[in-house]
Amino acid sequence: MTQNLPVMQIRDFSGNKTALVIIDMINGFLTEGTLASERCAGILPAVEKLLNLAKENKIPCIAFADAHESDCPEFASFPLHCLKNTSESELAPSLKKIGGFQTIEKNSTNGFFAPDFQKFLKQHPDLENVILCGVCTDICVMQFALTLKSFYNQNQKNLHIYIPVNAVETYDAPGHNADQMQMAALQILEQAGIILISEVKDDEK
Q: How far apart, in Å, are the Cα atoms of 79 and each of 14, 36, 71?
A: 40, 11, 12
Residue 126 is assigned to a structural domain of this protein: yes
Q: In the prediction, which pLDDT does 2 show? A: 74
What pLDDT is attached to residue 92? 98
Please indicate, yes or no, if residue 24 is contained in any of the structural domains.
yes
Q: Does any domain span residue 69?
A: yes
Res 42: pLDDT: 98
Give domain status of residue 2, yes or no: no
Q: How many CA atoms lie within 13 A of 65 on its CB side?
A: 24
**50: which residues sit within 8 A by CB, 6+ positions away?**
20, 22, 131, 133, 164, 167, 200
| CB neighbour burial string for 106-145, b if at least 16 within 10 angstroms, e if fewer | bbebbbbebeebeebeeebeebbbbbbbbbbbbbbbbbbb
Number of domains comprising the chain: 1
Rounded-to-integer distance, Cα 104 and Cα 120, Å: 10
On whether residue 121 sits in a domain, the answer given is yes
Query: What are the average pLDDT values for consecutive 10-residue runs of the chain, which has 205 residues?
Result: 89 92 98 96 98 96 95 89 95 98 97 98 96 98 98 97 98 95 98 97 85
Q: What residue type is assigned to position 184 of the chain?
A: A
Cis before residue 136, ω within 30 degrees of 0? yes
Question: What is the rounded distance in angstroms from the CA atom of residue 72 to the CA atom of residue 51?
Answer: 30
* Domain-embedded: residue 93: yes
1 domain residue, yes or no = no
Q: Residue 201 in contact with residue 56, Cβ under 8 Å? A: no
Structural domain includes residue 129? yes
Task: State the residue range of the domain holding 101.
Answer: 7-201
- Residue 98 sits in a domain whose CATH number is 3.40.50.850
Non-local CB neighbours of 183 within 8 Å, separated by 6+ positions:
1, 2
pLDDT (0 to 100) of residue 204: 80
